[in-house]
A and B are shown apart, each in its own frame.
Chain A
Amino acid sequence: MRSFMCSVSLLLILTVCGSLFAQESGNGEKAPEPGFRLSETALLNVSFSLAPEFESNINNISGRSYERDLLTGALQKSDEIMDLIIRMSPGLRAKIDDHSKTLGMAIRLDYSLYTGIEDPGTLKNFANASALHFDTDILGEFNKDGNVVVRIANNLKRNSNPDQLTIENGLHTNLLEDFSLAVFIKNSEDTLSLKIQSGIQLNYFEESLFSPYNFWSSRSNVYGQWKFLPKTAAFFNVSYIYQDYFNAGSVLRHDQRAMPLSVVVGALGQLTPKISLKLSGGYANSLAKDMHHDGTAGVEFIFKNSENTLFKLGYVRTMFPVAIYQHYTQDKVYANFTQKFFNRLLLKLDASYSHLDYGKNVKYPALINAPTSETVNGITTTTTVTQKSIDREDHLIRLEPMVSYNFLPWLGLALKYTFETKQTPYYAQVHIENDAPAPFDKEYRTHYDYMDHRILLTLAADY
Chain B
Amino acid sequence: MGMGGARMRKLGVLVTILLFCSVVMAQAAPVQESKKDTSTPDEMGDEIAAKAKRVVDIEQATQRMIDEATKEKDITWKLCLGDVLATIKGVLASIDSAKSRLDDLVRAEKMDAARTQVMLARGLADAAEKAFAGAQACPRQLTRVDNRSTSEKEEDKDKTGTYGDKGGVGDAMGQDFTKDWATERDPNDLGTEDPIDGAGTDNPGGPTETPGDTGGESGVIADNGGVIAEPPFLEPSPEK
Contacts and interface: CB of A to CB of B under 8 A. Distances in A.
A191 B171 CA distance: 16
A184 B177 CA distance: 25
A30 to B, nearest CB: 11
B233 A412 contact: no
Interface in B151-183: 151, 153, 156, 158-162, 167-169, 171-174, 177-178, 180-183
A316 B207 contact: yes
A239 B205 contact: yes
B207 A385 contact: no
Contact of B205 (A126, A241, A307): A241
Contacts of A387: 229, 231
Given A191-B156, A230-B158, A446 B173 contact: no
- Name the 5 nearest CB pairs between A and B, nearest first: A298-B207, A444-B233, A336-B214, A318-B206, A296-B206
B117 to A, nearest CB: 42
A165 B182 contact: no
| Chain B: number of interface residues, binned into ranges | 35 or more
* Chain A residues touching B, majority SS: strand
B156 A135 contact: no
Given A233-B197, A446-B231, 15 more contacts: A125-B239, A144-B151, A151-B195, A167-B228, A169-B226, A170-B236, A193-B198, A235-B201, A269-B172, A302-B173, A312-B215, A318-B207, A385-B232, A387-B229, A444-B233
B210 interface: yes
Interface string B120-159: 0000000000000000000000010100111101001011
A183 B100 CA distance: 62
B187 interface: yes
Contact of B225 (A240, A346, A420): A420
Interface in A179-220: 184, 186, 189-191, 193, 195, 197, 199, 207, 209, 213, 219-220
Interface in A99-148: 99, 102, 104, 106-108, 119, 121-122, 125-126, 135-137, 139, 141, 144-145
B188 interface: yes
A282 B215 contact: no
B216 A330 contact: no
B169 A99 contact: no
Contacts of A81: 237-238
Nearest to A396: B225
B67 to A, nearest CB: 13
B149 A231 contact: no
Contact of B192 (A47, A97, A167, A458): A97
Contact of A430 (B174, B224, B227, B232): B232
A184 B208 contact: no
B201 A106 contact: no
Interface in A435-450: 444-446, 448, 450
B201 A334 contact: no
- The DSSP consensus for interface residues of chain B is loop
Most chain A CB inside 10 Å of its own CB: which residue of B153, B180, B205: B205
Contact of A193 (B172, B195, B199, B231): B195
A58 B237 CA distance: 10
Contacts of A336: 214-215
Contacts of A268: 169, 173, 198-199, 201
B74 interface: no
B6 interface: no
B221 interface: yes
A334 B207 CA distance: 13
Given A125-B239, A262-B206, A316-B206, A165 B196 contact: no
A258 interface: no
Nearest to B198: A225
Nearest to B171: A231
B75 interface: no
B174 A165 contact: no
A326 B27 CA distance: 98
B57 interface: no
Nearest to A364: B231
Contacts of B202: 195, 197, 221, 223, 225, 235, 237
A78 interface: yes
Contacts of B216: 334, 352
B229 A193 contact: no
A310 B232 contact: no
B228 A325 contact: yes
Contacts of B143: 145
Interface in A404-463: 404, 406, 408-414, 420, 422, 426-430, 432, 444-446, 448, 450, 458, 460-462
Contact of B227 (A107, A169, A193): A169
